[in-house]
Amino acid sequence: MTESLKVRVWRGTDRGTFAAYEVPRSESQTVLDVVTHIQRRIDPTLAYRFACRVGMCGSCAMSVNGIARWTCRTHVSHVAKNGAVEIAPLPNLPVIKDLVTDMREFFDKWSRAKGQFRGTKTRGDDFARIAPASAERIAADAGIECIGCAVCYASCDVVAWRPAFLGPAALNRAWTLVNDSRDVRQRDRLRAVAGDAGCHSCHTQGSCGERCPKHIEPTAGIAGLKRLAARAAIRGEL
């Protein structure tokens, strides 16, 4: 292990440059530790996001050596090449400053995909009965752990090529609700997630599932949405 790490960090907005810093290495150091050191000891003008720093919130997602990751869960020893690391903001999102991206379009697309649950039962009604081992519930359960960190969104080339594309996280969320028998917005939702802005633009590159820190596979849900949308279109229900 080299004594110090050569770090290149993106400074600026969508236009900017990489600035070089030297950071002392330590045992079990994470990339978030490195960014924190730079901001506290070297350059206080560096902007970055974090919260829990233990791999639960997803706020610290950044591009490390070109790959979107949670920096609090990325050990420097695993990613440093020749004692060097490159840190940049997540791609496919506008940059507010340095390592901080504007997440609004990511969450707007979640909303546009009808990613909100809507049921009809009130507190006066009996509980809904859902069989945990049913195919729908298993499919939904595979996707509900998403914390909206945008690593998948940042890793998807279709998001870069088609600005209107809803993206893997929003489509995964829609899939979990499509498989929720209590939800009553299914037709609107299917309409919202089909077509070129929705599931049909997914080319199964698989970067989303490859990079998701929670091992969710949006490709599975998107394949399911494709089938449902096609069936609805043929039946004239779309």
Q: How far apart are CA 120 and CA 122, in angstroms?
A: 7
Q: Show the binding pattern over residues 94-113: x = contacts another protein (CB under 8 A), - = does not.
A: xx------x-xx--xx----
Q: Under the criterion CB under 8 A, does residue 160 sit at the interface with another protein?
A: yes
If one counts every other C-beta atom within 10 angstroms of the C-beta of residue 123, the result is 4
Tell me which of 209, 212, 216, 218 binds another protein, using CB under 8 A: 209
Q: State yes or no: residue 215 binds another protein (CB under 8 A).
A: no
Q: Which stretch binds another protein (CB under 8 A): 33-41, 48-56, 118-126, 223-231?
A: 223-231
Verify binding: residue 203, another protein, rule CB under 8 A.
Answer: yes
* E strand or H helix that includes residue 91: none
Q: For residues 133 and 111, what is the distance between their CA atoms, to the nearest angstrom?
A: 28
Nearest distance from C-beta of residue 234 to another protein, angstroms: 7
Stretch that binds another protein, among 35-43, 49-57, 117-125, 217-225 (CB under 8 A): 217-225
User: Counting contacts by CB under 8 A, is residue 195 touching another protein?
Assistant: yes
Residue 80 lies near another protein (rule: CB under 8 A): no
In this structure, are strands 16-24 and 95-97 parallel, antiparallel, or unpaired? Answer: unpaired
Task: Restricting to residues 110-149, name those near another protein by CB under 8 A.
Answer: none
Q: Does 181 bind another protein (CB under 8 A)?
A: no
In the β-sheet with 61-64, what is the strand arrangement from edge to edge? Answer: 16-24, 4-12, 84-88, 61-64, 67-70
- Angle, to 10 degrees, between the axis of helix 168-178 and the axis of helix 104-112? 30
- Which C-beta is closer to another protein: that of 54 or that of 133? 133
The two three-digit tokens of residue 66, written as one number: 């070109």
Residue 233 is a binding residue for another protein (CB under 8 A): yes
Q: How far is the CB of 10 from another protein (least distance, A)?
A: 8
The phi-psi region of residue 206 (left if phi > 0; otherwise alpha if psi is between -120 and 50; otherwise beta) is left
- Return phi, psi of residue 165, to 5°: -60, 130
Q: Which are the contacts of 208, defined by CB distance < 8 A and separation ≥ 6?
A: 152, 155, 156, 168, 217, 218, 219
Q: Is 176 in the site for another protein (CB under 8 A)?
A: no
CA distances from 29 to 51, 71, 72, 89, 172 (A): 17, 10, 9, 20, 33
Q: Which residue number, 60 or 93, has a Cβ lying nearer to another protein?
A: 93
114 and 193 Cβ atoms separated by less than 8 Å: yes
Verify binding: residue 88, another protein, rule CB under 8 A: yes
List interacting residues with another protein (CB under 8 A): 14-15, 63, 65-68, 88-89, 91-95, 102, 104-105, 108-109, 154-155, 157-158, 160-164, 191, 194-198, 200-201, 203-207, 209-210, 217, 219-220, 223-224, 226-227, 229-230, 232-234, 238
